[in-house]
Amino acid sequence: MKILIADDDKIGRLVLAKQLETWGHQVLQAVDGMEAFAIFQQEVPPLVITDWMMPKLDGPGLCSKIREEESDSDNLCFIILLTSKESSEDLAQGIQAGANDFITKPFEPLELQARLRNGEWILNLQAELKRKKEEAVQLSRTDALTQLMNRRAMLDTMRLDEDRMRRERRPLGLVMIDLDHFKAVNDNYGHNMGDTVLKGAAECFSSAIRGGDYVGRWGGEEFLIALPGADIIQCAEVAERCRNQLAAMRFTTEDGETIQVTASFGTASAEGADRVELLDLVEQADRALYWAKDSGRNRVKIYVASADPNLKQNPRG
Do 128 and 245 belong to one domain?
Answer: no
Q: Is residue 122 part of a domain?
A: yes
Do 157 and 90 belong to one domain?
Answer: no
Do 177 and 113 belong to one domain?
Answer: no
Q: Is residue 303 part of a domain?
A: yes
Separation of alpha carbons 139 and 136, rounded Å: 5
Boundary residue ending a domain (120, 140, 160): 140
Q: Is residue 317 part of a domain?
A: no
Specify the pLDDT at position 317: 46
Q: Is residue 156 part of a domain?
A: yes
Q: Is residue 316 part of a domain?
A: no
Q: Is residue 201 part of a domain?
A: yes
State the pLDDT confidence band at 257, using cuts at 50, 70 and 90: very high
Task: Please state the domain count of the chain.
Answer: 2
Specify the pLDDT at position 310: 65
Boundary residue ending a domain (85, 117, 140): 140
What's the burial of 151, exposed, middle or buried (CB within 10 Å: 0-12/13-18/19+)? middle
Specify the pLDDT at position 263: 97
Boundary residue ending a domain (140, 161, 190): 140
Range of the domain at 27: 2-140
Separation of alpha carbons 118 and 231, rounded Å: 58
CB-based contacts of 114: which residues, under 8 Å, 6+ apart?
A: none
Digit-coded pLDDT (tens) for 261-304: 999 999 999 998 788 999 999 999 999 999 999 999 999 999 98
Digit-coded pLDDT (tens) for 152-211: 999 999 999 999 999 999 999 999 999 999 999 999 999 999 999 999 999 999 999 989
Do 7 and 116 belong to one domain?
Answer: yes
Q: Is residue 315 part of a domain?
A: no
Do 113 and 169 belong to one domain?
Answer: no
Q: Is residue 146 part of a domain?
A: no
